[in-house]
Amino acid sequence: MYVFIQNNNSLKIHIVHIVTYPGLKGYIFLPEQVIKRYKKVLGYLKGGTTKTQAYFKCGVDRKSIVDTAAIAELEACDNEAYKNLRGTFQRGQKLYDFAERFCQGLRLRQVDMVQDGIAGSTATLTKMTHKLRLVCKKALKMFKSKTGQRMGGRTEFIVIDESNFRHKRKYGQGRAGQTWKRKKWVFGMLAIKGQRRRPILRLVERRSRNHLVPIIRRHVRQGSTILSDEWFVDPNHGGHTQNIERAWLTYKSQIWRLRGNRTEKLLKEHLSFIEWTYWLGYEHKDGPLGCLLEDIKRYYRN
């Protein structure tokens, strides 16, 4: 494109390169358009396209996808909840503002659940969540007694690592009291097979060989491939330690958001719930909710 600029008595010519997005056909105004765009990006990613290329082909930047992803995610995991929230959308409303409510649908805060009438107070919600964690913990314990919770084998490789789940003080200041004596290191083993991820998380006192090897022997099958503390990609199965590094970020954000690392007992409950989610919840034919309902029935029946 040629641009002519008159500057006093001189005429200058500048060549401007304009970048166009082939997938951009107008602005996005409706939640349905957000979902369509989100699925289109996923389609490109499944085809082997990088995220940058997928965003370019769809004519969207990364921030727009991230800011509105909750709309598409809630529609995929809970269509009924999506329909209820979709009915509150008003034409002309900013999608970014509307997406915040969908984020609450995926990760409701206590104050939001109280306003929605799920419970009368935050204290009641705390008791409810504690009871649900106990239900999941018992279900996982029964699963361990039946199967041994074994992982690995010829078609599944294991990534192991440890991470610090210490309770954080604000700005790192103030008295630590007795909190420094708590167990803070979590030893993790992540079983990977295709798109499936199954973690085993153990709170340990020390990270020595004598403490960690027995845990590995107890849960990992003989002949399994184990990756640890190496920044590489295995050419045989594509395994790399970034899988568990990414998993640590997910687990920590969930636990810290719920302040689940204030005591050793509470941290163990949250770690058990994470294991239950991946070993039982996602493996159930009706998903985590169907699995939870069955476990609640079994818990109170016994």
Mind listing the pLDDT tens digit for each residue in 53-92?
Answer: 888 888 888 878 877 777 777 777 667 767 777 777 777 7
What number is the average pLDDT over the span 115-139?
84
At 90-108, the pLDDT tens digits run 777 776 666 665 555 545 5
What number is the average pLDDT over the span 218-236?
76
Q: Please state the domain extents for the chain.
A: 23-107, 126-169+182-301
Cα–Cα distance measured from residue 266 to residue 263, given in angstroms and rounded to the nearest whole number: 5
Is the Cβ–Cβ distance between 75 and 82 less than 8 Å? yes
At 132-191, the pLDDT tens digits run 999 999 999 999 999 999 999 988 999 999 998 876 655 555 555 555 566 789 999 999
Share of the chain above pLDDT 90, in %: 28
Contacts of 302 (CB under 8 A, 6+ apart): none
Q: How far is CA 93 from CA 4, 62, 86, 100, 158, in A?
A: 40, 21, 12, 12, 47
Chain-centre distance for alpha carbon 84:
24
Mean pLDDT, the chain, whole residue set: 78
* pTM summary value: 0.62
